[in-house]
Every structure is written in structure tokens, then in C-alpha cells.
Chain A
């Protein structure tokens, strides 16, 4: 074992396992269901940070539109849960539609009668949209700042639609399904340990799968394109193809997070597609360390924990503090907190290894 322990594959896996185990065991220490629900929320937000880390930290594509997938997943899930509550015979139309003077169920709501189809749509539509949108962008060799602007514009456009289509989306008020999410005949109480573990399960599986993908040839090519897309193109790789696939994967992850979010909060509103939320996801990844999946998770956790536990007096200044922290990270720690950690570990391993540095 030479050099920086941070880069040691075994050490990395050990840290991943330790952190995931700590998350999974949390219910045994926190018996308060509200705390558990809070942590489930952080885990879901951490999932969005993982999607950002994947596409931005490893792919070099700064997407400010992760909220599109997150929001679409969330709305799909909300529609599914709403229709689970409705009765096809006596009460087929959700209340908010009645107050918006709709007399029949809109056609786009019909598939959500079925839970499996509803879930498939909730995750499938945003994934397909990201596939299409990514293909459009990367085929035209849109890169860098322009990707950020285009994703931002797309997000603003979808926000406008969701906000405006009052009869279909309940507009500004959002949808709050009255019942828990029901699957395989059991309803999932968002404050239960089961719900929490489902979220942890998603985080673990998706993070490990992402980490695995990054170690395959695909992952290595993607990372080479982040560092020098021109050279990768000259070597004969279709940059557009790899970027589109990566972008689509990140959309899929964000959509999963949106679905879980509604399962845990039983509520969705246009805020899920606000610019602020999407940029917050980028902030989490940046503060934690965008070139580390675990870093992104930790960043999301730290910032959201900080936000929740900042006192009322403190809350006024929280945004300023967040802004300052973010500025400092961008200016001095481009690799985020994990980058700092890498530096410290590097110093430490050099000191103990003596000649082992390379």
C-alpha cells in the first residue's frame, strides 16, 4: 500500500460500507418517527446529489435541470398515490380537479389507476425525456456553460407548465395524496422504519451501482471525456453517445428520488421544479465533493441537517452562511470537503509510509 490512502480501493469500500451501515442502523438509535422521517428526506436529497455528482463531477456536464426529473418523478408518484385513493365507481375524480371544474378524468391521468403502470411512467417519462434532451444537446456538441443554460431554461419552462396547468397538476397548491403509498397489498407509513429502509436501500443500491459503472470501461471513457472531450473524440469515441447515456442515468436517479420524496412527504408542489432546488443539488455535490459519490451524499446530509437544526434566529442568516460556505468551497476547494479530506489523508499517509509516496 503506497501513497495516499484516500485512493486505495479497499479503503474506499470500507468507508462506503461503514457509512451505509451507520445509515441502515439508525432506526435502532433514533426511535422518534419524526427524526426517522427527517433522515429519510436527507437520504432522498442525497440521492439527487449523487445524480449531480455522476453527471457533473464525473461527466463534466453541469446540469441545472435535475429538478425536471425529480419533479416529474414526484408528480408521477403523487398521481399514482392519488388514484390509489380514488374509487373508480363512486369517486373517480380527485377533489382539486372538481374545484377546477373538470368533469371527467383527464386522459393523461387514466394510466395512474394502475400502480405498476403509474410507477413505470413516473420513472420512465423523465428518463426518456433526459435521453431525448441529452441526445439533442450532445449531438449538437453543446458543452460547458451552454449545457447549464439550456438545462436551466428547460427547467424554467417545465416549472411554468406545471404551475400553469392548474386542472391537471393543482398548480401552486400541489397535490397531497390523502393516503399512504400502497404496494403489494401493504401501505407504507412514511414515518415507519420500513419506509426509511426503502430509502436507504435505494441510496445504497444506486450509489454502489454508480460506483460500479464508474469503474467499468464506460465509466473510464466518460471521465476521460470530462478531462478532454476533443482527445476522446479523436480516439474514436462517440462523445455524444457516452454523454447522453450518462445524462440519462442521472435523470433516472433523480426521478427515483422524486418518487421516494412523495412517498415520504405525501406532497408535491411546483417547488420541486424550482431553480433554487436544482441549484441546491449542485451546491450539495460541490460542497461535499463532486468527484466523490460519497462526498455528494455527505454534502447533502451536512447542508440539510444544518438547515433543519439551525435555530429560528439563526435561520435568517442560514442562507448567507450557505452562500459564504459555497463561495469558499468554489474558490478554494474545487473538490469539496472530500478534496480537503484527500489532502489531509495524503499528508498523513506520507508521514507514516515514509518512502511510500509516488
Chain B
């Protein structure tokens, strides 16, 4: 995700270029945050292991691609299914007992992330792994000030696809209506005959699956190591809390945070940009704790 990866100091309009960088950054923020916001919005569960779900998705891709020779594009649905299954197991085993104690879900999932990180380290070792970039993505677009690699373009497009698919599922299917009903009022939904526990399981599995796909995509962009997940989790949380619960909010806040991050990086540097961004977020939450956009499906 390093901004300097595709930094072109001699391009015609470096500042405009950094705005484009912001878009690709925003796509990554968005993918990382989407599953998180769906899980939090529906169940009120703060999933600290979300970063590790992303990591697991990346390692799944690594295993399928390296050892079984599965093409990259097929690895994406595989990562989704693998993580959805893992998510289902975790929801049934751990999360389910904690619905009355939302703060404790944060702690429990943190414990889980410790186990996942160390488990992967024991199985695969701590040294970095690589997911090969498929040859059809190995190209560059260079025109005036635009300078985008194929992989990043692919991630931007994929973020749009994931967002659209999630929107479709949430707003155009019966299942989505049920999920939103549970989001708004669990008891009311239950009294209308919706099995809230089943909705919870499905939502958690779907959120975990999204993290898996995100991990597969990041695998093409970055090297994999067991604690790579912690690098995404804080940013992903910020997208969720700034955006407010819901798809539209996350999209906007991911966009804004991505753009701000690259603009600040343009004027200072990447770490200092992080400081300014995080401080701004804290100040922002001081004045608008509910987040940017609260659509009809906000739960608190």
C-alpha cells in the first residue's frame, strides 16, 4: 500500500497524480472495511480479527496458487468460501456467546487474532510469501499524470464490484431485507418470524468472506507475512467509525480518508500523514460521534 511505490516525482501534475493514488488507496480501505462494517452494523460486534481474516484470505490464495496451480481469478472465490466457512465456525463457537457483551467481543476476537497469527507462523514460518501477479495484470497505464499499475486498477474495479454486489444483496434480495430488519430492531424482526441467529451467522460468514477476498487481492499487491493483518485493522476501523454504519457511509469515508491520506502524504510524508489523519478522525468523532452518514439501517 506504500504510496511511494508508484510515486512519480517528474510527472506533469504530481498533485493530481496523488489524487489518483488516493482513489486506489480508498479502494483498499473500502474493501478492508466493508466486511467490518456489515458485521458491526448488524450484530454490534467489533471484529478485531478482521485483519487476520484478510491475512488468512491471502494465505489461502498463496496455498492454492503455489501448491495447486489454481489461477488467480479462481482463487478469489475460493478465498471467499474458505473464510466464510471459518467465519461461520467462529460465529457459532465464540461470538454467539457474547451478544450481550459487545465490548467483550472486541477482546475475544483479539485473542482469536493472536491465535491465528501464531498458528499461521507455525505452519508457514515467519518469512514473507509471495502471490504471483497474473501476467494479464502485469501492465502499466501511463498517460500524462496518470500512472497506475494493472493490479491497482484491478483492485479499484474489484472494490466497485464488491460494493455493487453487497448493495445488491442488501437492498434487492429477501435475505438483504431480513438482514436490514435485524440491523434496525432485532426483537421486532424476530417477532415477524425472522430467525435473527441465522441472520447473524450468515452476516458474519459474509463479512469474513469479504475479508478473504480482500486478502486475496492484497496478496497480489504485497508480500504476505503472518502479522500483515494488523496493518489494516486501524484504518479499517477508522473507515467504519467515520463513515457511520452502512454501505454508503463506508464508501464515502473510505474515499475521503484515502484522498486525505494521499494529500497529506504529498505535503509531508506517509507516517506524518497517518498522524494528521488519525488526529483529524478523533476530532471529527468529537463533533459527530455517529459518523458521516447514517442511513436507515443504523443500529445505534
A334–B278 contact, CB under 8 A?
A: no
- CB < 8 Å neighbour of A327 from B111, B241, B289: B111
B271–A62 contact, CB under 8 A?
A: no
A160–B237 contact, CB under 8 A?
A: no
B115–A136 contact, CB under 8 A?
A: no
Category for how many chain A residues contact B: 35 or more
A322–B114 contact, CB under 8 A?
A: yes
- CB < 8 Å neighbour of A149 from B107, B110, B237, B275: B237
User: A-facing mask of B92-119, CB < 8 A → 1, else 0?
Assistant: 0010011001111011101111110111
Instruction: Label chain B's interface by main secondary structure.
Output: helix
Chain B residues whose C-beta falls within 8 Å of the C-beta of A156 in the assembled complex: 234, 274, 278
User: A-facing mask of B107-141, CB < 8 A → 1, else 0?
Assistant: 11011111101110110000000000000000000
User: B-facing mask of A127-156, CB < 8 A → 1, else 0?
Assistant: 000000100110111101110111011101
Q: Determine how close the nearest CB of chain B comes to the CB of A59; give it in whole angstroms.
A: 13
Give the residues from 179 to 211 in chain B that come closer than 8 angstroms, CB to CB, to chain A: none
Q: Determine how close the nearest CB of chain A comes to the CB of B222; give it in whole angstroms.
A: 19
**Contacting chain B: which of A21-29, A189-197, A243-251, A313-321?**
A313-321
Instruction: Label chain A's interface by main secondary structure.
Output: helix
A64, closest chain B residue (CB): B106
B271–A330 contact, CB under 8 A?
A: no
**Alpha-carbon gap, A330 to B101, bound state (A):** 10
B119–A150 contact, CB under 8 A?
A: no
B110–A140 contact, CB under 8 A?
A: no
**Alpha-carbon gap, A344 to B102, bound state (A):** 27
**Alpha-carbon gap, A152 to B275, bound state (A):** 12
User: B-facing mask of A318-358, CB < 8 A → 1, else 0?
Assistant: 01101110110011001000000000000000000000000
B115–A146 contact, CB under 8 A?
A: no
**Alpha-carbon gap, A317 to B122, bound state (A):** 8
B119, closest chain A residue (CB): A320
Question: How many residues of B are in contact with the other chain, CB < 8 A?
Answer: 42
- CB < 8 Å neighbour of B230 from A137, A275, A322: A275
**Alpha-carbon gap, A148 to B275, bound state (A):** 17
A153–B289 contact, CB under 8 A?
A: no
Give the residues from 273 to 300 in chain B that come closer than 8 angstroms, CB to CB, to chain A: 274-275, 277-279, 281-283, 285-287, 289
- CB < 8 Å neighbour of A146 from B97, B107, B112, B241: B241
A334-B101 contact given A286-B107, A326-B114, CB 8 Å threshold: yes
27 pairs from A and B in contact (CB 8 Å cutoff): A62-B106, A137-B286, A145-B102, A146-B289, A148-B106, A149-B238, A149-B241, A150-B241, A152-B234, A153-B238, A153-B278, A156-B234, A157-B278, A157-B279, A158-B275, A160-B278, A279-B110, A283-B107, A316-B121, A319-B115, A319-B117, A320-B115, A322-B114, A323-B114, A326-B107, A327-B108, A327-B112
Lowest 3 A-B CB distances belong to which pairs? A323-B114, A157-B278, A326-B111
Chain B positions near chain A (C-beta within 8 angstroms): 46, 94, 97-98, 101-104, 106-108, 110-115, 117-119, 121-122, 230, 234, 237-238, 241, 269, 271-272, 274-275, 277-279, 281-283, 285-287, 289
Identify 18 new A-B residue pairs, CB closer than 8 A, beyond the known A153-B237, A330-B104: A139-B286, A145-B46, A145-B102, A152-B234, A156-B234, A157-B274, A157-B275, A157-B282, A160-B278, A164-B269, A279-B110, A320-B119, A322-B111, A323-B115, A326-B110, A331-B94, A331-B97, A334-B101
